[in-house]
Amino acid sequence: MSKLSWVYGLHTVKALMETEPERVLELQALNTREDARLNPIVQMARQLGLPVAFRERDQLDQLAEGGRHQGVLARVRERQAGDDNDLSAILDGLSVPPLLLVLDAVTDPHNLGACLRTAEAAGVHAVIAPRDKAAGLTPVVRKVACGAAELIPFIQVTNLARTLRQLKDDGVWVVGTSLGEGAKPFYEIDLKGPLAVVMGAEGSGLRRLTAELCDHLAYIPMAGQIESLNVSVATGVALFEAVRQRRG
């Protein structure tokens, strides 16, 4: 049975009602007479036959546990992690070149939540991670992700190396982040086609076999004295460089 949780924010709630309305159970909205951004969401909920309750701001603040709810929360069935079969179905259903994020054994739930939030903002089609020795979809991850965990497919695979080989066989270019020999600046690599961006674990970076399976190794040029970025920040830089190229 699916667990229930609150998600919040105008974009998140609207996107869920548009794409997966069957997962939304009820709406809690700010008790205000007129709000040009909020009223269409309330109307959409009523058209879907969802219960709508109007609350004072402090009541919504409590439900959101300090999150920026923008006057609306929805109680939803939590999205569960997918597996290899779900990944195949996602790729088969795309009409555009896939953009995937692969997290190689990222263990910090705050980093995973931030990566999910960034990936959703960049239009990533799925986030892939190992099932073992890596963070999963915990309550902390969901809170840090600010709703993205309920919007973007999160795929946990039993053998990451096998998944990367399958992606390569399917024509997906695998680009890993590394400061190792032969790595090029991200901005010099063509990121416009079918792409999987692979980010290494906190501190240790990519595992040896993961790095060997990458078609390209890339690094983010640093102008200051610090040699590396937090994995979630580096994920944002890499993904939005891909977005920039794809829109170019």
pLDDT of residue 33: 67
Question: 229 labelled as ligand-binding?
Answer: yes
Question: 16 labelled as ligand-binding?
Answer: no
- Structural domain of 71: 4-77
Q: What's the rounded Cα separation, in Å, for the pair 164 and 206? A: 13
State the sign of the Cα–Cα–Cα–Cα dihedral 229, 230, 231, 233. Answer: negative
For every one of its 248 residues, what pLDDT tens digit does the chain have, with 9 covering 90 and above?
A: 678 989 998 988 998 999 899 999 999 999 986 778 899 999 999 999 999 999 999 999 999 888 889 999 999 999 889 999 999 999 999 999 999 999 998 999 999 999 999 999 999 999 999 999 899 998 889 889 988 999 999 999 999 999 999 999 999 999 999 877 788 999 999 999 999 999 998 777 899 999 999 999 999 888 887 777 889 999 999 999 999 999 97
pLDDT of residue 223: 80
Question: 220 labelled as ligand-binding?
Answer: yes
pLDDT of residue 11: 87
Closest by Cα among 84, 31, 37 to 59: 31
Query: Please, are residues 247 and 192 in contact by the beta-carbon 8 Å criterion?
Result: no
Number of structural domains in the chain: 2
Mark which of 77, 100, 119 sits at the end of a domain.
77
The CATH number covering residue 176 comes to 3.40.1280.10
- Model-level pTM greater than 0.95? no
Q: Which residues contact 116 (CB under 8 A, 6 or more apart)?
A: 127, 141, 145, 148, 149, 152, 154
Q: Where are the alpha helices (DSSP H) in 170-230?
A: 208-213
Query: Do 25 and 67 reside in the same domain of the chain?
Result: yes
pLDDT of residue 1: 60
